[in-house]
A and B are shown apart, each in its own frame.
Chain A
């Protein structure tokens, strides 16, 4: 079996698990106490009005039928209407998702470019000053809650030093100069040719992204450090050193590629978990993202929105994990070869 065949098989499995996820989420949202029609219309609406809306939304049908209706809609991109925003859930998701993805992607970028080099340096100086200092930073970043750090950042960089904006994605003065192409402001500002807005978008995203990435930086640093130390003691690394290859080449090419395998798995899990965990950071920074949209939906029993957001996060989760599998196969030929050998 070729590796791509294995991946195709994985994709089929992913589809099955997404269907499973949709059944669970859909059923849960329908059996939760509270009448969505009543929630939508408010306390003043009459019983008849509520009944009429419930019938219109199909809430009187048996749950399996409701599910089939929902899936039929899903195939054409119809996720139902949000009771809170009165817009189509799909529209809301398309609107809010890019903000969250942008935030998470920048955090992941920071996690990689800060966490991995620090882990390598710590491993090189095992038990030295740098190692102990990074260890301390890692413990701190993992143990202090992200929202607390977020608030401290706002206080320090936004309020006291006034270096960076405190909330939002873009200064109001740029609102009209940027058209929406992708929803990713860092991209849209460039596509609009507005460099000042691009810089402003960076200024807005850097604090929330850093606050969101700190815990991950700590984890990635520690994982990278310990796997670097493991790999450094392998015969092949000793041999490469022995043949007189430049030591930076041995470290960053021959050792790091092997040490990166466990780190990559962690990165995939981190990316997916940030999707759900970005909520507190989004709240602190008034970041109009999917996580805060989803939490608002849960609090208001906005069931179509809840299912929509959960499914979106689910799809993102399995896609990221699939991507990690593809990358793992690229980084570690043993995984790929083992798959090809096992028929």
Chain B
């Protein structure tokens, strides 16, 4: 998990030129517009951005969870040397079931309410990734000694995610568990088949802050112990900072900036990233920014140039005409903003403070809700 190693040398998952659109009655909505990203082995990567920026659509296209049509997915998604988009559904299910796991956003709705935790998790431990298992084979294995082994494995995993009283939890139904316990059960379920890649969608955001913190700490330990590569999706920059090695900032269906986590927070470059960081409430300071003015672009008719231009305090006519290049491109960095063209003197590049001064503010002494 060292950040100074260039990720490109040993990527587990790469996404190239991903384009995702949706047919709708009002026309064709171009949501994801040329997204490139990669996750190195053992790396924890976050996609951050506000609601509606395309994070979940990116994740769902990787996992083939979008119905096509109405969705249309183009590009190249490579997982450990295998091109995923060209696989048949069956082949893809096998790769996904055996090597990738997803932790869903809402722990309240992601466990089956009519089965005990033990039943669902033991089935996952025993048959997860074996989507070819037939009925006869299933019953033969279900009522063999293998079941007890699987049960043991589940108990062990529940202990590892620090579930209180795991024996008892096995016989409980999801509705008897608290939010934090359900989240732990879900994480345990996701790790049962020793995946290489864990995709976590807004993990813990539905929980209260202290539990959320515990879950993130737990996740950090698990990532270390299981040597996981992780793709996290979050709208919460604090989460990104707490667990990830590298952050992709997404806006309007494009990656606008990427950098190792520390670098991104110390020296955010893109005006959007700066705006996001400036909006994080601080305990010191007399006033706080209430967020970046305006809202995400209309995907049916997106701005022709930089999609952030209509909200950007530094936008010029040039920004509105053509999509900017990725500048300062390194193995782990890049920013899609004309201000970082080599021709622009460094003194003209904005700082977080400068961006903050352009934002609507209100008197401080308030606590943020994130």
User: Which of A238, A246, A334 is close to B173, meaning CB atoms less than 8 Å apart?
Assistant: A334
Residues of chain A touching chain B, judged by Cβ–Cβ distance below 8 Å, are 234-240, 242-249, 254, 257-258, 261, 331-334, 337
Is residue B115 within 8 Å, beta carbon to beta carbon, of the partner chain? yes
B65 contact set on A, CB distance < 8 A: 238, 242
Contact A245 B123 (CB under 8 A): yes
Given the contacts A243-B124, A244-B129, A258 and B135 also touching, CB distance less than 8 Å: no
B101 contact set on A, CB distance < 8 A: 242-243
Taking residues whose C-beta sits less than 8 angstroms from the other chain, chain B's interface range is: 35 or more
Is residue B168 within 8 Å, beta carbon to beta carbon, of the partner chain? no
Contact A243 B114 (CB under 8 A): no
Contact B106 A246 (CB under 8 A): no
Given the contacts A238-B104, A244-B94, A254 and B131 also touching, CB distance less than 8 Å: no
Is residue B211 within 8 Å, beta carbon to beta carbon, of the partner chain? no
Residues of chain B touching chain A, judged by Cβ–Cβ distance below 8 Å, are 63, 65, 93-94, 96-98, 101-102, 104-106, 109-115, 120, 123-124, 127-135, 138, 173, 175-176, 186, 189-190, 192-193
Contact B133 A235 (CB under 8 A): no
Number of A-B contacts (CB under 8 A): 91
Task: Name the distance in Å between A41's Cβ and chain B's nearest Cβ.
Answer: 61
Given the contacts A235-B110, A254-B115, A337-B175, A243 and B129 also touching, CB distance less than 8 Å: yes
For B116, give the chain A residue with the smallest CB separation. A333
Give the complex CA separation of A331 and B65 in angstroms: 29
B193 contact set on A, CB distance < 8 A: 243-244
**Which 7 pairs from chain A and chain B are nearest by CB?**
A244-B97, A244-B129, A243-B128, A333-B173, A235-B109, A236-B112, A235-B110
Most buried by B among A236, A243, A331: A243
For A332, give the chain B residue with the smallest CB separation. B114
Give the complex CA separation of A314 and B134 in angstroms: 45
Task: Name the distance in Å between A283's Cβ and chain B's nearest Cβ.
Answer: 42
For B128, give the chain A residue with the smallest CB separation. A243
Give the complex CA separation of A237 and B120 in angstroms: 11
Give the complex CA separation of A235 and B56 in angstroms: 14
Contact A245 B115 (CB under 8 A): no
A331 contact set on B, CB distance < 8 A: 114
Contact A337 B109 (CB under 8 A): no
Contact A258 B114 (CB under 8 A): yes
Contact B128 A249 (CB under 8 A): no
Give the complex CA separation of A337 and B104 in angstroms: 25
Contact B127 A234 (CB under 8 A): no
Given the contacts A242-B101, A242-B102, A234 and B109 also touching, CB distance less than 8 Å: yes
Most buried by B among A240, A242, A247: A242
B135 contact set on A, CB distance < 8 A: 248
Contact B112 A246 (CB under 8 A): no
Give the complex CA separation of A261 and B113 in angstroms: 12
